[in-house]
Structure 1
Amino acid sequence: MELHIRLEGRKGLAEQLYQQLRSAIDSGHLAAGTQLPPTRLLAEQLGISRKTVAEAYSRLTYDNLLSGVVGRGTFVSPRRALQASDVEPIALAAASSLERWQQRATVLGRSALEAPSRYDFVGGVSAKSQFPFDQWRACMQYALRCSQRHSERQFPAQGLPELREAIAHHIAFARGVHCSAADVLVCNGAQQALDLIARVLVEPGTRVAMEDPGYPPARQLFLAMGADLQSVPVDDEGLCVEQIADGTQLIYVTPSHQFPLGMPMSERRRHALLARAAELGALIIEDDYDCEFRYQGPASDALQRLDRHGLVAYVGTFSKTLLSELRLGYAVLPPSVLSAACVAKHLSDWHSPSLQQWALARFIGEGHLNRHIRRCHDIYAARRERILARLESDLAPWLSAVPASAGFHLSALAAPGVDVELLVRLTRRVEVGVYSLAPFFNDVPVRPGLLMGFGAIERLDIDPALDRVRDALQQLS
């Protein structure tokens, strides 16, 4: 790589070179530890004598800006921290737009920045210790071989056909989704699926309805797109469909495992929701984020299976099922939405990473995904049962579980008089992470309680952690 130096004229070349190198070091463009080109090479690149370069290097070495290492070369010396620039930036004309985006920070984003507690009931995080790394590594090696053989430079924005086929088969079997590979759009996690749908459907003033309490990143996304957002309350049967306002064009729901409370939407309410969407001509986004894990009662199919008019966009993710770092999700979209969303995907990032798509297609095809789900199901079920047992015994005076039959988090509502926010702070001091439900509410009055995930905490750690929660609750009482 050539060092960017521009010399003018043929006089004072050593001084010019010295000043430009010093300026680059002082400004940080040449960072501490950067190796400079040998004097002979730099002289050839600049068309000057080697003696001129050696003189500039010598002066910089005398000033303690460069140091030579025998047998290795010349390097920029460590410096004290740079002072703030004297340049006075001019406020951008789009400052108001930037400020609006900066205000879109989500509750989940803020909690992710905190150091994890020793005992952490964080929601939405799977059991990383159970992930089959050896099998995934073999699938990634297969993906590299596919890449080596692949002659084309372009990949479809919709996703690799083999992965879309694998996803279609899996969700038809596991969730009863009615689709083919042609209906599937591969995305970088479920959040990008929501973003793409919103991009093609939401304009400033578009009326969007979503659950309250609900998923903060979805709420902030719709608001950022300029949506006229309506918060619709939920009850024991799920979204209160009769309260969806006229003129609504998009409805966001989590019918199989309401986020964050956890109860499933009843069959009666599901049919009412589909009828209301048909009346409005509104698209329903069904976020089915963790419902492959079910613990009691008959398995409920996805809402999408009941759709007869192409009104449901089904969104899923492998970040919850497998590993949060994977960042691969998908959307099953009606034809009227799919083509537009593929254009938006192409303009956004061309396509999701092809290596990971090949690897995931292989991983699903060889049965690793189903085996992983079965293994984690038993682990999550044991953790869930232990938390419920404690909520029904010594924690019962203060907390009561919301009935839920799927996923890997549950919610517990607090008894009157329990200061949940203080409880969260007290338990944090004793290395237990529990999380308030309050940030998930918007317009609906807050129902004080806790969101308790059991994906990231080991079974043997649950009792010691809940002992500390109980002690904190006794202290509050």
Structure 2
Amino acid sequence: MELHVVINGRKDLAEQLYQQLREAIGCGRLVAGAQLPPSRLLAEQLGVSRKTVSDTYAALTYEGLLIGKTGRGTFVNAGTPQSERLQSATDLACAANLAKWQSLPSPMRHPTRDSTLRYEFIGGATSRNQFPQDEWRRCTQDALRRIAQNSGFYSQPEGLPALRSAIAGHIAFSRGVNCRDSDIIVTNGAQQALDLIARVVLEPGSTVAMEDPGYSPARQLFMAMGARVASVAVDDQGIQVDRIPHGTRLIYVTPSHQFPLGMPMSPSRREALLARAFELGAIIIEDDYDSEFRYEGRPTDSLQSMDSRGVVTYVGTFSKTLLPELRLGYAVLPPAIHGAVLKAKQLTDQHSSTLPQWALAKFISEGYLLKHIRRCHTVYAGRRERILQRLAGDLSPWFEAVPTVAGFHMAALCKVPVDIPLLMQLARQVEVGLYPLDVFFHDTPVRPGLIIGFGAIETLDIDPALDKVRDILKQIG
């Protein structure tokens, strides 16, 4: 790759080169440790003598900006001070808008690899040890062969036909979703699906109805688009439909495994919700994020499968069944908004990466996904049962579990006053990651407690971790 340097005319060649390299180093365009081209190659690129380049390198080396390494070449000195950019956010015309975005909280941001604790009860994370590396590697190799044979053009914004067909078959089998391949758009995770739907449905000032407590990243997304989010309380049957306000354009729900409390929406409440959306002319987003994992009772239909009026958009993700880093999700769209969402997808990023799309299509069609879900189901069921036993046992003086039959997190509500921030702080000191419920409450009264994920923690680590939590609870009274 050529170094970007522009020489004008035939005068002061060495000075021009010196000033441009010095400025590039000072402003950070040439970062510390970057290797410069050999003097002969740079001289050929610029059409100057090799001596001009060599003398410039020597002058910058004398000043400490460059460093020569015998047998390796010339590099930007790692100790070179770089000038600060003078422009600040407050100087810009868009300062108020920047401040609005900067002020948005990040309640579900996962820790980095370096900051992950020994025992993690974080929600939404999967067990890396369960991921089928060999099967995924074979599917990825097949995907690379397919890409090597293609035309080199951009792909379809709605996603590869093979993947949309595989998704349609999978969700019809596992969740009873009623759709065709053409109803599906492949997205970069469920979050992009929410973004695309909101873009075409909402305008600044539009009303969105959301469960409270509810999924905070969706709330922040809708608010960032200028929408007014109406918090609607939930009870043991789900969202209280009669509290959804007039004028609502979009209704966001998690009916199969309410986030974060965990209870499913009752059949009668689902019927009432569908009727209310039709009455309002609103679109429902059904976020079915982890209901493949079910442990008790009869399976419940997806809300989309009950929709005879075309008001439900079904959103799913493979982040919970495979890996969060995969960033593949999808939306099953009703005809009324399909064309608009497809245009929004094309304008946003043209299409999702085809390499993981091809790999996932084969992974599903070969039966690897269902096999992986069954294997994880057994593991998660054991972890869930052990946590429930502890919450009903030696942790019962402080917490009680909210009944839940699906997913791989549960909510534990405080039975007595507990200083949750102090508990979390002391737990981190002994390598236990605990996470609070209160960040998911907005306008309804907070019910203090913990959200306990059991996807990332290994089964044998549960008891040692909860022993530490129990000891801390005894310590803080």
Same fold (TM over 0.5): yes
Secondary structure class of the residue paired with 1:107: coil
Look up the match of 1:55: 55
In the alignment, structure 1 residue 323 sits paired with structure 2 residue 323: yes
In the alignment, structure 1 residue 367 sits paired with structure 2 residue 367: yes
Look up the match of 1:17: 17
Alpha-carbon spacing, 1:80–1:162, altered in 2? closer, same or farther (3 Å): same
Tell me the CA shift for residue 87 of structure 1. 6.6
Secondary structure class of the residue paired with 1:320: coil
Alpha-carbon spacing, 1:369–1:71, altered in 2? closer, same or farther (3 Å): same
Look up the match of 1:169: 169
In the alignment, structure 1 residue 96 sits paired with structure 2 residue 91: no
For 1:174 and 1:89, locate their aligned partners in 2 and report how far apart those are by CA, in whole Å: 49
Tell me the CA shift for residue 48 of structure 1. 3.4
Look up the match of 1:156: 156
Look up the match of 1:203: 203
1:186-335 correspondence runs (5 A):
186-335=186-335
Look up the match of 2:443: 443
CA contact (8 A) 1:414 1:420 kept: no
For 2:23 and 2:414, locate their aligned partners in 1 and report how far apart those are by CA, in whole Å: 62
Look up the match of 2:137: 137
CA contact (8 A) 2:317 2:328 kept: yes
Secondary structure class of the residue paired with 1:35: coil
For 1:403 and 1:348, locate their aligned partners in 2 and report how far apart those are by CA, in whole Å: 40
Tell me the CA shift for residue 93 of structure 1. 0.9
Alpha-carbon spacing, 1:382–1:201, altered in 2? closer, same or farther (3 Å): same
Alpha-carbon spacing, 1:15–1:80, altered in 2? closer, same or farther (3 Å): closer
C-alpha deviations, 1:386-427, integer Å up to 9, x for none? 011111111111111101000000111101322223222222
C-alpha deviations, 1:39-73, integer Å up to 9, x for none? 34433433333333333333333334334444443
Tell me the CA shift for residue 111 of structure 1. 6.0
Alpha-carbon spacing, 1:373–1:50, altered in 2? closer, same or farther (3 Å): closer
Look up the match of 1:119: 119
CA contact (8 A) 2:14 2:52 kept: yes
CA contact (8 A) 1:190 1:329 kept: yes
Corresponding residue pairs, total: 477
Tell me the CA shift for residue 7 of structure 1. 4.2
CA contact (8 A) 1:126 1:320 kept: yes
TM-score (normalised: structure 2): 0.95
Task: Please tell me the residue identity of whatever aligns with 1:325.
Answer: E
For 1:177 and 1:6, locate their aligned partners in 2 and report how far apart those are by CA, in whole Å: 59
CA contact (8 A) 2:89 2:95 kept: no
Alpha-carbon spacing, 1:76–1:152, altered in 2? closer, same or farther (3 Å): closer
Look up the match of 2:473: 473
CA contact (8 A) 2:313 2:331 kept: yes
Task: Please tell me the residue identity of whatever aligns with 1:95.
Answer: A
Tell me the CA shift for residue 211 of structure 1. 0.1
Task: Please tell me the residue identity of whatever aligns with 2:231.
Answer: S
C-alpha deviations, 1:100-153, integer Å up to 9, x for none? 111223211276699222111111111111000110010001001111111250
TM-score (normalised: structure 1): 0.95
Alpha-carbon spacing, 1:70–1:187, altered in 2? closer, same or farther (3 Å): same
Secondary structure class of the residue paired with 2:424: helix
Look up the match of 1:109: 109
Secondary structure class of the residue paired with 1:293: coil
Look up the match of 1:463: 463
Alpha-carbon spacing, 1:458–1:96, altered in 2? closer, same or farther (3 Å): same
Tell me the CA shift for residue 428 of structure 1. 2.0
In the alignment, structure 1 residue 354 sits paired with structure 2 residue 358: no
For 1:9 and 1:197, locate their aligned partners in 2 and report how far apart those are by CA, in whole Å: 54
Alpha-carbon spacing, 1:460–1:143, altered in 2? closer, same or farther (3 Å): same
For 2:99 and 2:456, locate their aligned partners in 1 and report how far apart those are by CA, in whole Å: 34
C-alpha deviations, 1:184-204, integer Å up to 9, x for none? 111110000100000000101
Task: Please tell me the residue identity of whatever aligns with 1:363.
Answer: F
C-alpha deviations, 1:77-102, integer Å up to 9, x for none? 33344353567787111111111111
C-alpha deviations, 1:213-232, integer Å up to 9, x for none? 00000000111111121000
In the alignment, structure 1 residue 84 sits paired with structure 2 residue 108: no
CA-based RMSD of the aligned residues comes to: 2.0
Identity of aligned residues (%): 61
CA contact (8 A) 2:380 2:454 kept: yes
Tell me the CA shift for residue 254 of structure 1. 0.4
Task: Please tell me the residue identity of whatever aligns with 1:77.
Answer: N
Look up the match of 1:378: 378
Task: Please tell me the residue identity of whatever aligns with 2:456.
Answer: A
For 1:345 and 1:242, locate their aligned partners in 2 and report how far apart those are by CA, in whole Å: 33
Look up the match of 1:338: 338
Look up the match of 2:423: 423
Tell me the CA shift for residue 24 of structure 1. 3.1
CA contact (8 A) 1:66 1:76 kept: yes
For 1:108 and 1:273, locate their aligned partners in 2 and report how far apart those are by CA, in whole Å: 27
Gaps of 5+ in 2: none
CA contact (8 A) 2:256 2:302 kept: yes
CA contact (8 A) 2:25 2:82 kept: no
Secondary structure class of the residue paired with 1:299: coil
For 2:180 and 2:126, locate their aligned partners in 1 and report how far apart those are by CA, in whole Å: 28
CA contact (8 A) 1:250 1:282 kept: yes
Alpha-carbon spacing, 1:3–1:190, altered in 2? closer, same or farther (3 Å): closer
For 2:43 and 2:400, locate their aligned partners in 1 and report how far apart those are by CA, in whole Å: 77
Alpha-carbon spacing, 1:63–1:174, altered in 2? closer, same or farther (3 Å): same
Secondary structure class of the residue paired with 1:436: coil
For 1:226 and 1:87, locate their aligned partners in 2 and report how far apart those are by CA, in whole Å: 27
CA contact (8 A) 1:391 1:399 kept: yes
In the alignment, structure 1 residue 26 sits paired with structure 2 residue 26: yes
Task: Please tell me the residue identity of whatever aligns with 1:3.
Answer: L
For 2:117 and 2:71, locate their aligned partners in 1 and report how far apart those are by CA, in whole Å: 48
Task: Please tell me the residue identity of whatever aligns with 2:148.
Answer: Q
Gaps of 5+ in 1: none
CA contact (8 A) 2:32 2:78 kept: yes
Tell me the CA shift for residue 313 of structure 1. 0.5
Alpha-carbon spacing, 1:205–1:147, altered in 2? closer, same or farther (3 Å): same
Secondary structure class of the residue paired with 1:125: coil
For 1:285 and 1:391, locate their aligned partners in 2 and report how far apart those are by CA, in whole Å: 33
Secondary structure class of the residue paired with 2:248: coil
Task: Please tell me the residue identity of whatever aligns with 1:183.
Answer: D
Secondary structure class of the residue paired with 2:314: strand
Look up the match of 1:412: 412
Task: Please tell me the residue identity of whatever aligns with 1:26.
Answer: G
Task: Please tell me the residue identity of whatever aligns with 1:412.
Answer: A
CA contact (8 A) 1:253 1:286 kept: yes
Tell me the CA shift for residue 286 of structure 1. 0.5
Tell me the CA shift for residue 442 of structure 1. 0.2
